[in-house]
Amino acid sequence: MTRLASRAPRARTLRPRALRPRTLRARLTVGLVTLLAVSCAAVGLAAVVELNGFLTQRLDEQLTQVGTRFPESLEHAGRPLGADDHDGDEHGDTRRMATGTFGARLLKGTVTHKGLIRSGDPAADLDVDLTARDAGRLARVPVDGRPHTVELSALDDYRVVASSGRDGDVLIVGLPLEPVQATVHRLELVAGIVFGLALVVTGVAGACWVRWSLRPLSRVAATATRVSELPLASGAVALPPRAPQPDPRSEVGRMAAAFNRMLGHVEDALTKRHASEERLRRFAADASHELRTPVASIRGHAELALLHPGPVPPKVTRALERITAESARMGEMVDDLLLLARLDAGRPLERRPVDLTHLVLDAVTDARAAGPGHRWTLDLPEEPVTVPGDAHRLHQVVANLLANARWHTPVGTEVTVTLETDGEQARLSVADDGPGVPADVRPTVFERFTRAEHRRRPDASGGGAGLGLSIVAAVAQAHGGSIGLESRPGATTFTVTLPLAP
């Protein structure tokens, strides 16, 4: 038995795609949140920079007010002066200075004296240990009377001012930047928390707002989905209600209005097409019905003339035989057209249990007699297959498929008829190893009057009018089944699927 080898689908390499919003609603929400995040970042950055500059300026002003009193006092016995010292009026009282004030005296680039006010009590003021690197950094501070930032490993970041002393030395005074940095960091923390909450709230509210704003668009999409699921290719079609139209001045409103106008045009076109098909169907049915009588009359008169007892010239006899054969062929065509017209009109077929196994066996036996040059193979299940339907029409389905294989394949072709079930459906397959159905004919092979320009059997003559496979498809559909085609050079399979009897 000939079986078609199924081709394994190619494994496509899936490229990883960046995570990005797909829907318009998600894109608008993400865009809104992104713009807000950029705005919050800009506002926060500006606030932090401005606050840092403002506090640093205040610190510089404080440094200017402190002056060089503290580093000058370090020259006297290497300690800061108190209010009761003899030159306290000259050098100042350290108890008036802020905690953390740093002072140093440098002579020829070397730190000779240094001190740090740790509290308001002069007795608690202690010396501070500076590393060689800290001393080098202090020596590099420009002596210009302007504040500069220095990082002291023993202390932290300091804002210092270097001034020239009266003894050719350099006096440095500094205040810690830690209060400024702590305030700026607190602002950054508060701004981050507030802006983060604002982004979350805005994201949720924005998503709800965008969803509400695009609700008419979702209704238009739902209407379009319902329309796409309708069987627009055949029969009368009732389109769903039109999409609601919001404000026509908005983009969504204009789109909904255009979509509704398009649905109106489609409905008008479908109505006109259905009316035209109905007229054509009635014409085909009436014409087929009216042609049956004259065709039968022509055939009867031709057969009667052939029965004439008198001598008839051979040419006349040949002409009468051709008239009889063509009238019979025309009668079959008229019957096929009438059958298609009845099926199109939706007339119900007979519904009785049909032994499909016996029917296929009889059809293959007839095909062997009609096409002895072909090799016929039959593969039937052990148990009978019963389907509900019209036995005469189902026999016509099998006979048309076998006739199609016989007429369109060369002599010697093997034709395999297979009947099988899957518990719910019966599948009848007619396969041959002929040249195959031309690629340009496959899309329309089940349409009426479809005939290939080059027949699959070059020496074939006669044949039908291209109605056999269309009748097969119509009868299968009327029984609740379907028909499919798989064809390539050397392997062609027609498969009819029918529901089994309960």
Q: Is 407:413 a contact under the CB 8 Å cutoff?
A: no
Q: Pseudo-torsion of CA 302, 303, 304, 310, nearest 10°? A: 90
In a domain? residue 220: no
- Work out how many domains the chain is built from and give that number: 4
Q: Which CATH number do you get for residue 277?
A: 1.10.287
Q: How many CA atoms lie within 13 A of 384 on its CB side?
A: 10
What distances in angstroms separate CA 367 from CA 6, 170, 325, 402, 446, one per listed residue?
Answer: 28, 121, 20, 7, 21
Are 127 and 186 within one domain?
no
Q: What are phi and psi of 85, to 5 degrees?
A: -75, 160
Are 51 and 185 within one domain?
yes
Are 379 and 470 within one domain?
yes
Q: Which CATH number do you get for residue 405?
A: 3.30.565.10
Residues 6+ apart with CB under 8 A from 61: none
User: What pLDDT sits at residue 2?
Assistant: 38
User: What pLDDT sits at residue 11?
Assistant: 43
User: What pLDDT sits at residue 469?
Assistant: 86
Q: pTM for this structure?
A: 0.47
Sign of CA dihedral 126, 131, 132, 133: negative
* Residue 207, Cβ density class (10 Å: 0-12 exposed, 13-18 middle, ≥19 buried): middle
User: What pLDDT sits at residue 429?
Assistant: 92
Are 46 and 139 within one domain?
no
Are 57 and 200 within one domain?
yes
Are 48 and 186 within one domain?
yes
d(CA 478, CA 472): 10
Are 49 and 192 within one domain?
yes
Which residues constitute the domain of residue 294?
230-347
Residue-level pLDDT, tens digit, the chain, 502 residues: 334 333 444 444 444 455 566 677 788 888 888 888 999 899 999 999 999 899 989 988 888 887 877 787 776 644 444 444 444 444 445 556 778 888 888 888 888 888 888 765 554 455 678 888 888 888 888 988 889 888 888 788 888 998 888 878 888 888 888 889 899 999 999 999 999 998 899 889 888 888 887 777 777 777 777 777 777 666 666 677 776 666 677 777 777 778 778 877 777 777 777 777 677 667 666 666 666 677 777 778 777 777 877 787 888 888 888 888 887 777 777 777 777 777 766 677 788 898 999 999 999 999 999 889 999 999 888 888 889 988 888 998 999 899 988 888 899 899 999 999 888 889 999 999 988 888 888 888 888 777 665 444 444 444 556 778 888 888 888 888 999 999 888 889 999 999 987 7
Are 342 and 294 within one domain?
yes
Which one of 288, 321, 347 terminates a domain? 347
